[in-house]
A and B are shown apart, each in its own frame.
Chain A
């Protein structure tokens, strides 16, 4: 899976869970500061991402995933 494909997949999840416009989702964007994803919604995003990409994202890793790019890198390394 390419980084772009993972980003597109995350954008779909973010739209479903938090109503984020897919056009706003890019690797440099911060989940909280740029995309306005609150802490409970971030939990939903993580669980949905695990399901979609077939990876495990432990809770202690989630705090390191500040940006969409962080998440893409983590998922790419796992899958």
Chain B
């Protein structure tokens, strides 16, 4: 029996660049930065006082009572999933819930709920701790809420692989459809941890940019002046669908999710493998799984977070696994690093690049590293035919995920 093709029929997102996919994509193509100064009082004492905060607050979309019971990461997962569901033409449809699964993860989860409720515990005692605390902070919360919202009964899954989460959640969706367990999978990632503790933790690792006086230029992948990533928040969700199922209901198809590759480094808990070995294997596996010629994969939305080490390792890996022909983009230069949502948001950018035949820009690449031997669409978007494209996502823990998308 031939393997099912899997296609993307819906997109949803709420990001530092916009409250939906269309506004986010427009901002990306225009090369806008979503990074700004943190003006909150709690930020004053932090070494890092910049972040890419949501363009549209969840309170503008969901009602107050609902938001009381949701961690911010859950609220934005629901918002992005509602958009993707409607975009796929599935709102109000009679899709059998037993053929619908969810695969939505988060890198860190409900940390802000945990910290806020701990404050209440310390100040007022255990009886004042909200009864919603556990469903708000449990790591499967975003997936479970999306499943409830859409009536998914074929399984609700919550991948957690740090900054590879969003991409791995999409890869799991591909597996679920190929295995025949569902016809439709709502997949992606969510993250909302712009809070002093996670910022202090990443800062202590010396992983974050401290370009506090110039927020919009702080995220600068592959630039010699880069000094770490910029924390972002947001959610990205895609609707994956068995191709025959999409065709039968006449759904609009953005792209085909042609293949996925997942590896682990078994090297270090936070450092990437010194030769990018795991990343190279993930890319090679994704290409083999997709059964697409390397020369047709002409664009890569790179993981490129703006950290000194990781950015250049990925370049080496792409050279080895794919060749010297792809045109790269690092959209984190505009969105910041959405951690567990990054791989999902960047998959959306990759899919739209294919659809619109345009590579989004990498901003702030003013002084490229000498080792940047691959072509990057720097500063400006670049129109070009894109038969197929690759999205990379790597995470603390040694997670490597590569996804290949192709024209339907």
Same assembly: yes
Residues B68 and A17 in contact, CB atoms below 8 Å apart = yes
B250 on the interface (CB 8 Å rule)? no
Residues B131 and A18 in contact, CB atoms below 8 Å apart = no
Interface string of B116-146 (1 = CB under 8 A from A): 0000000000011011100100000000000
Residues B65 and A40 in contact, CB atoms below 8 Å apart = no
How close is A38's CB to chain B, nearest CB, in angstroms? 9
- The answer, among A19, A43, A47, for a CB contact under 8 Å with B65, is A19
Give residues in A with beta carbon < 8 Å to B. 17-19, 40-41, 43-44, 47
For the complex, give the distance between the alpha carbons of A17 and B66 in Å: 10
- 13 further A-B pairs in the complex, CB-CB below 8 A; given A18-B65, A41-B131, A44-B131: A17-B65, A17-B68, A19-B63, A19-B64, A19-B65, A19-B66, A40-B69, A40-B131, A40-B132, A40-B135, A44-B130, A47-B127, A47-B128
Determine the chain B residues whose CB is within 8 A of the CB of A43 once the complex forms. 131
How close is A16's CB to chain B, nearest CB, in angstroms? 8
Determine the chain A residues whose CB is within 8 A of the CB of B68 once the complex forms. 17
Total interface residues on B, CB under 8 Å, equals 12
Q: For B127, B130, B131, which residue has the most chain A Cβ atoms within 10 angstroms?
A: B131
Determine the chain B residues whose CB is within 8 A of the CB of A47 once the complex forms. 127-128
18 A-B pairs whose Cβ atoms sit less than 8 Å apart in the complex: A17-B65, A17-B68, A18-B65, A19-B63, A19-B64, A19-B65, A19-B66, A40-B69, A40-B131, A40-B132, A40-B135, A41-B131, A43-B131, A44-B130, A44-B131, A44-B132, A47-B127, A47-B128
Determine the chain B residues whose CB is within 8 A of the CB of A40 once the complex forms. 69, 131-132, 135
How close is B63's CB to chain A, nearest CB, in angstroms? 7
Determine the chain B residues whose CB is within 8 A of the CB of A41 once the complex forms. 131
Determine the chain A residues whose CB is within 8 A of the CB of B64 once the complex forms. 19
How close is B11's CB to chain A, nearest CB, in angstroms? 30
How close is A35's CB to chain B, nearest CB, in angstroms? 12
Q: Which residue of A lies closest to B130 (CB)?
A: A44
Q: Which residue of B lies closest to A48 (CB)?
A: B128
Determine the chain B residues whose CB is within 8 A of the CB of A18 once the complex forms. 65
How close is A55's CB to chain B, nearest CB, in angstroms? 13
For the complex, give the distance between the alpha carbons of A43 and B126 in Å: 13
How close is A51's CB to chain B, nearest CB, in angstroms? 9
Determine the chain A residues whose CB is within 8 A of the CB of B69 once the complex forms. 40
